[in-house]
Structure 1
Amino acid sequence: MSTDPALATPPELVTGGPLIAMHDAIVARLREVFPTNKFTHGFVDSRLTPVEWGDLMRLKPFVGLGWGGARPSDANGRRMSATAEWTVFLATGNSAGPTQRYAGDTQGPGLLAMVQVAAGALQGMVVRPPRAREPVGTVEVSGISNLVIDGFQEKNTAIAGIDLRIPFTLEWIAGADEFLRAGAAWVISADETAGPNDDIDIREAP
Structure 2
Amino acid sequence: MKPEELLSMCEKAVEEALKLGAGEAEAIATWSRAVGVEVEKLQLKSARAHVEAGLGVRVALGRKVGFSFTSHLTPDSIRKAAERAVEVAKAKPEDPLWPGLPGPAEPASVQGLYDPKAAEATLEDAAELARQMIEAMKVDARVKAGSGGVGFAAHASAIANSKGLALSAQGTSAHASAYAVAEEAGESSAGFEYEASRQASDISPL
Q: TM bucket by the smaller chain?
A: under 0.3
Between structures 1 and 2, the one with greater strand share: 2
Q: Which has the higher contact order (CA 8 A, sep 6+)?
A: 1
Larger radius of gyration: 2
Q: TM-score, normalised by structure 2?
A: 0.24
Q: TM-score, normalised by structure 1?
A: 0.24
